[in-house]
Structure 1
Amino acid sequence: MNGVAMHIANGIVNAQVSAIFAAVAAAALAICVWRGRADLDDRLAPMAGLVAAFIFAVQMLNFQVLPGVSGHLLGGTLAVVLVGPWVGALCVSTVLIIQCLLFADGGLTALGLNITNMALVGTAAGYLLVAGLLRILPKTPRGVAITAFVASVVSVVIASQMFVIEYALGGTTELNLTTIAGTMAGAHVLIGIGEGLIAAVTVATVARVRPDLVYALRRFRKTASPVPAVPAPAVGGVA
């Protein structure tokens, strides 16, 4: 009963909870497809393919976390910085589905759990952090690199704790939840640092060469509102 690359294996979480999260994942991905269609254009579509291929490659790096579960670089924050939350979630989901069906990375019955944790919770947490940090940090290659690093570390830990919630709801073996939460958090802080470094270097490189290809820069530069000008007072009381 071995899981691979933070993927949950068959039998780690019972069938009822797995089915619930499969339905949640399917509904959420349908929303991502609907919302993502508005973002896709001649510039974003090829970038989405490159992002998915890159995430697939970095997810080959695995770190053992628990019996039956191991951790890996998730790529959710990198995806949302480059292609946005909706398309980013679809990129990560596509990678997870291919890994499950072709390479048996994670159980088929646990696919909904894995998509929920890595493609949905991981990318959502990453995007919220990116949105918050880019309101404070400069919208420059250095600023977006720092943003990607911090958001990667935090979002990876949040995604790992989602597994703890799922295990609490339907875990099939007797393991202490506090121990699981602490072990997952500690291991994924280290994994998040590795992911953050990769994400920071990647997005900074793209931002320097082609800033127009970085979704986060386009999105938050556009929404930055200039300070309104204060009208000059009338001279001599005449408007």
Structure 2
Amino acid sequence: MHVPDGFINAPVSVAAGAVAAGAVAVSLRGARRELGGTSHAEGGGERTAPLAGLVAAFIFAVQMLNFPVAAGTSGHLLGGALAAILVGPYTGVLCVSVVLLMQGILFADGGLTALGVNITVMGVVTVVVAYGLFRGLVKVLPRKRRSVTVASFAAALISVPAAACVFTAIYAIGGTTDVPVSKVLTAMVGVHVLIGIGEAVITMLTVGAVVAVRPDLVYGARGLTAPLKLRVGGELVDAEPAPVPVAARSPRAVWATGLVTALVLAGFVSFYASASPDGLEKVAADKGIDKNVEEHAAKDSPLADYGVKDISDARISGGLAGVIGVGVMVVAGTGIFWSLRRRGTTDATPTRVPESV
């Protein structure tokens, strides 16, 4: 659902950019709390920070895997629900924003003047809708690990057509073509409900895989199990948390497995992705809202259109571009989130007041 330049007029694009900038600013503040904790009770920010960088890389990799949803139409992961559940809603907004920024600059995917629209629709809306629904479901479902995967499926499913509705609302205000909004809404929601099913399956499988191995690494699973109480001296006290199984002690194994998976998906599996236009591209072509689409400012990038310039073999070109993209996302994402974690930890450290003399 990457919106290109020319779909939305300049004033509304600027307004969407302001909304996106505000959301990112709020998320930077919130992410410091999500990433800054160091104790078990605070969620272990020292483990969440490197995972957040990996989540950004994984979302980038899976977004390269367009899957068919209808005749001549494909879809791909948006990633807001997945990021929010794995690393927290504020950090999730930042994960998706980093992916969209790098895709626009390096791969000419998603207009640069439409970056605010894309972050608002694909980052903010999907995270807010998905995480709100997810938390509500987890509260009413049995307190079991399976409930996390069930809630993640439902949250991801609803987040995609919700994003389609918000895009349609933005188009209704600032669209550059004269197409009835009702037709755009019907087409967008219809195709994105189907895409939402794919999003839900990918999110559920990914969250379920991490929960099965290290539930303590999943932000949405924190507090799932109430601490065991022991009666000591007539009073109830919290028992020590159960140790993590030896086979799953180090989160580095989870991180390494996730990185290898992202590299394989982007570098190899992406070659077999559907070549059909995604939901937005298909609706735009069918309804005529792409009449004023503009050429991408980064069209001459060495990695434009997910291929390495001057490499003629499509398999090698696309695979190498995917591997480079994963590497960029890991480095950029991990650097940003480690910085936020350090800032959050520093801000949370009380200042010692010197004794008066």
After TM superposition, the score normalised by the length of structure 2 is 0.58
Q: Which amino acid in structure 2 is aligned with residue 24 of structure 1?
A: V
Q: CA deviation at 1:219?
A: 4.8
CA distance in 2, matches of 1:164, 1:43: 38
Aligned partner of 1:46 in structure 2 is: 50
- The answer to whether residue 45 in structure 2 is matched with residue 28 in structure 1 is no
Gaps of 5+ in 1: 1-5, 227-239
CA distance in 2, matches of 1:21, 1:60: 25
- Mapped contact 1:84–1:215 kept (Cα < 8 A): yes
Aligned partner of 1:174 in structure 2 is: 178
CA distance in 2, matches of 1:57, 1:160: 22
**Highest CA radius of gyration, 1 or 2?**
2
Aligned partner of 2:59 in structure 1 is: 55
Deviations 1:186-208 (A, max 9, x none): 11111110011111111111111
- The answer to whether residue 197 in structure 2 is matched with residue 202 in structure 1 is no
SS of the aligned residue for 1:143 comes to helix
Aligned partner of 2:107 in structure 1 is: 103
After TM superposition, the score normalised by the length of structure 1 is 0.85
Q: For 1:36-185, what aligned pairs fall within 5 Å after superposition?
A: 36-40=31-35, 41-62=45-66, 71-185=75-189
CA distance in 2, matches of 1:158, 1:71: 15
Q: CA deviation at 1:59?
A: 1.1
Q: CA deviation at 1:139?
A: 3.4
- Mapped contact 2:31–2:90 kept (Cα < 8 A): yes
Question: What stretches of structure 1 move > 2 A for 4+ residues in a row?
Answer: 61-65, 138-141, 219-222
CA distance in 2, matches of 1:174, 1:56: 33
SS of the aligned residue for 1:43 comes to helix
- Mapped contact 1:75–1:92 kept (Cα < 8 A): yes
Q: CA deviation at 1:220?
A: 5.3
SS of the aligned residue for 1:138 comes to coil
- Mapped contact 2:144–2:224 kept (Cα < 8 A): no
CA distance in 2, matches of 1:109, 1:44: 32
CA distance in 2, matches of 1:33, 1:148: 24
CA distance in 2, matches of 1:188, 1:144: 23
Q: CA deviation at 1:176?
A: 1.6
Q: Which amino acid in structure 1 is aligned with residue 206 of structure 2?
A: T
Choose which of 214, 217, 225 in structure 1 pairs with 2:221.
Answer: 217
- Mapped contact 2:165–2:185 kept (Cα < 8 A): yes
CA distance in 1, matches of 2:66, 2:206: 20
Aligned partner of 2:13 in structure 1 is: 18
- Mapped contact 1:141–1:205 kept (Cα < 8 A): no
| 1:178–1:71 distance in 2 versus 1, CA, 3 Å | farther
Q: Which amino acid in structure 2 is aligned with residue 12 of structure 1?
A: F
Q: CA deviation at 1:63?
A: 6.8
SS of the aligned residue for 2:140 comes to coil
Pairwise CA RMSD:
2.1
Greater mean alpha carbon deviation, residues 210-219 or residues 106-115 = 210-219
Q: Across the two proteins, how many residue pairs are aligned to each other?
A: 216
SS of the aligned residue for 1:9 comes to coil
